[in-house]
Amino acid sequence: MPLSPLFNELEQNIANDLNVERLAEAGLLSRSQLYREFYNTTGHSVKEYVRKRRLSAALAMIRHTDMPLRKIAKECGFSGEQALCKSIKAAINQTPREYRAGSDEYYFPACEEDRAQIVTVSTETIPPTLCLRYYDSCLQGIENRALAWLFAARPGYNGRIFGRKGAQKGSKLCYELHIEAGQTDQPAFSGTFAKTTCPNIEEEIIAAWDSLYNSWLKTSMFIQADQPWFEEYVHTHGQVKRLQLYLPVQKRPGFHKIRLCQCKDMPFLTARKSGKSAEKAASKAVMDFLSAQYPRLGQSARQFYVSAQEDIYTCGIALQGALRLPAGSGLQMITQPAGEYAVLEGDCCGDSGAYESVLASWVGSMGLRTVDASFAVYETDGSFDKQKIRVKIYQKIEK
């Protein structure tokens, strides 16, 4: 069911005492449908979403106007100045005065469009299972070959099947199948999962994971939890019809943090590639060149540049200054010019595109004009531990 009318109604009346029945009518939903569809689309309850949108609007007024807190509270739907101050302290651990004097912007974007991929969030229990490991030298299609191997070994099996990538063994890749059986080696466990369904077509599965992980997760109220992810195969008589994807999640601790700051010239050594696997190819071209010509520079790299326009990727590393390139290297030195930038910092989970959308939304809400396209810089401490990699999205602001 399209929710665009509901979001429009909500944004137009964000400061008012929002009536659930009126919101449901705007979205052509019953009250119970509203709660369910709203949560599945945004990853938020209606109450939580409204609270964050109101607080985001109030923080923008505190930072960028001289309006008194009493009036800001009224404009943004708070019961009074005290309620506004209490909400700000709970959300960002600052007083309004401290926030106004600081440089960080805390922002929660409005949801303007329905998501193509329907996502539900619920507590699920994965039953006790027996783990069967299938090894193959080819990654493409390994899941379906593993399933064929299972059904050949256990004709007529009709229990639940969960799958996930396993640890590589030598040159052999592994795919694990977890099945319900009399003998089990994996105990049951429960957790909160974001789930979505897709047909058993490899391109559709990749697109569904991409939407769940790179789009929905980054703009929802959740982050990935430290639990295994799974694909459950819904099958009949040995034929898999569709998959249910399980991504473990936990509540996101806070808002997106954005900063307006003055940056110096930022030089990068880059390569540009297009087409399938363009990002990987561009990154490899830079690292191969450094490995052959400047090995110490490659080993000490801590900041990695990514800019994308459709299927064209420009990737590279940050440098302290220009580097002389031999003819025919296929690489380029580019410099992002000094000036004022809006910068959003986030975790490194997958594609940075969702963060770019959030930053673009904030820039638009502030009435700022931009120069050129945004770009991402991934930062690491050298360990390449995924938990320690951060990404910063830069958008140059026109004076």
Q: 120-251 with 257-397: one CATH topology? A: yes
What pLDDT sits at residue 243? 94
d(C-alpha 210, C-alpha 201), whole Å: 14
Burial of 41: CB neighbours in 10 Å, binned 0-12, 13-18, 19+:
buried
- Rounded mean pLDDT, 56-78: 91
| Per-residue model confidence (pLDDT) at position 351 | 58
Q: Can you read off the two tokens belonging to residue 289?
A: 């060149």
Angstrom distance (rounded) from CA 142 to CA 361: 40
Percentage, residues of the chain above pLDDT 90: 41
Tens of pLDDT, residues 231-276? 999 998 888 989 999 999 887 766 788 989 999 999 999 999 998 7
Helical segments of 232-336, H only = 278-293, 295-299
What is residue 82's predicted lDDT score, i.e. its pLDDT?
A: 95
Cα separation, 312 vs 314, whole angstroms:
7
Kindly state the DSSP code that residue 57 receives in the 8-state scheme.
H
pLDDT for position 223: 80
3-state helix, strand, coil in the chain (%, to 5): 35, 35, 35
Q: What is the pTM of this model?
A: 0.65
Q: What is the pLDDT of residues 178-202, one digit of tens each?
A: 999 888 898 998 998 989 999 998 8
273-291 burial: b if 16+ Cβ within 10 Å, else e: beeeebbebbbebbbebbe
pLDDT greater than 70 at residue 69: yes
- Average pLDDT for 42-62: 87
Q: According to the model, what pLDDT value does residue 386 have?
A: 67
CATH number given to 257-397 = 3.20.80.10
User: Helix 46-64 and helix 4-12: axis angle, to 10°?
Assistant: 40
State the pLDDT confidence band at 316, using cuts at 50, 70 and 90: very high
Parse the chain into domains and list their residue ranges: 4-107, 120-251, 257-397
CATH, domain range 120-251: 3.20.80.10
Second CATH level (architecture) for the domain 4-107: Orthogonal Bundle (1.10)
Exposed/middle/buried for 235, CB within 10 Å: 0-12, 13-18, 19+? buried
DSSP for 381-395? Answer: -SS--TTT-EEEEEE
